[in-house]
Structure 1
Amino acid sequence: MTAPDWQARLVAPRFVPYAGADIAYARGAPPEHLISRLHLIGVTPDGSVLVCRSIEGWRFLPGGTREPGESVRELAGRELLEEAGAVFRTEPVVFAAHAATSRLPQPYRPHQPHPYAYWAYAVGQVVVSGPPTNPPDGEQIVAVSELDPAAAVTELESHDVLHADVLRDAIGRGLVR
């Protein structure tokens, strides 16, 4: 796919049925108090990107939903450990987000902003410290791959084109090398 094709797809407004939300991508960090979800581009010391595989075979960037009272930094650290068995070596930097406008009458969880929220993306240097912790209420991760950025894009495309395009954007902006 050529750059203009994936860029057009990434920024095209769309409806996400499972979340009941209309989303639109934008570069830059949104207001922290409106971030309800966060996904992470974890870059290892050798420049590899972490890609998770769930028991269902889904491939995605580690991340998830914000808990009550949790800072974005705490959310990033918790999700990275739960889904990738990794910890940050540098502070994660939020670089983009999908503005999400819910069509549902109430938020996914009572503490989350509603009807407007952001699904944010951050990048940071990480090191894998062990297996994913796989809490009972989370996705069950069966593998974490450390892939060069181009291979990570290809792997993500097998299930999550949106995450593949966000990674392409980060690579193109020099956030991942």
Structure 2
Amino acid sequence: MTDTTDRAGELADLAARFPALHAPQRWAWGGIDAQFSAELPPDGLITNIHLVGFSQGQVVLCRDARGHWFLPGGTREEAESIESCLARELREEAGAGLAGPPVWLGAHRCVTDSPVPYRPWQPHPEKAWLWGWAEVTVDSAPTNPADGEQVVEVRAMPPAEAGRLLTRGREAWWGELIALAVESRSNHS
């Protein structure tokens, strides 16, 4: 069996075990069609980076002023590296820093209906949202910049609870993303 055949089998297995995560998505809020793959996109397509942060085995979630729970992460700035974006977003939204290197799970490859990119320097109409996990340390309050989400609570919780909070009123794939991160983390121990 070749490496390509092995990788194709791994990707098919992941899609079968996490079907909601791998299903085509329509993100109406952004006019975006998206589909997850464990195959990582080229750096130039990545516009957003999000992390399942683990603190002592628990998942770190953020809650904004609207009561919306989310994983820390966000949009890359012009010419910003993936690593710099991740560090900045963790500090801004969770008051956290990396305690270990990130492990990339995959990305949603996206195509937007919008006639212009979200930010002028972003690729358009195709882009990618990168998802990963890492060990983190929550050691301060979120910095809450004026142009970002206003985080009112950061909480570390068991992965099952994090999955429930993320899927409440939303797509089931959020819970599968948490489960994939937990599985990947246990495989890296």
Q: Same fold (TM over 0.5)?
A: yes
For the Cα contact (< 8 Å) 1:59–1:159, is it kept in 2?
no
For the Cα contact (< 8 Å) 1:60–1:163, is it kept in 2?
no
Structure 1 position 160, deviation (Å): 4.6
Q: Quick one: percent identity of the two aligned structures? A: 38
CA RMSD of aligned residues (A): 2.1
Give unpaired runs (5+ residues) of structure 2.
Answer: 1-14
Matched residues in 2 for 1:9 and 1:120: separation? Answer: 17
Write the mapping of 1:1-177 to structure 2, written as runs, cut at 5 A: 7-44=18-55, 46-161=56-171, 162-174=173-185
Match of residue 12 from structure 2:
none
Matched residues in 2 for 1:89 and 1:75: separation? Answer: 16
For the Cα contact (< 8 Å) 2:21–2:174, is it kept in 1?
no
Matched residues in 1 for 2:110 and 2:70: separation? Answer: 19
For the Cα contact (< 8 Å) 1:61–1:163, is it kept in 2?
no
Matched residues in 1 for 2:169 and 2:60: separation? Answer: 15
Say how many residue pairs are matched.
174
More helix by share: 2
SS in 2 for 1:18: helix
Structure 1 position 172, deviation (Å): 3.4
Give unpaired runs (5+ residues) of structure 1.
Answer: none
Q: What is the TM-score with the length of structure 1 in the denominator?
A: 0.90
Aligned residue type for 2:107: A
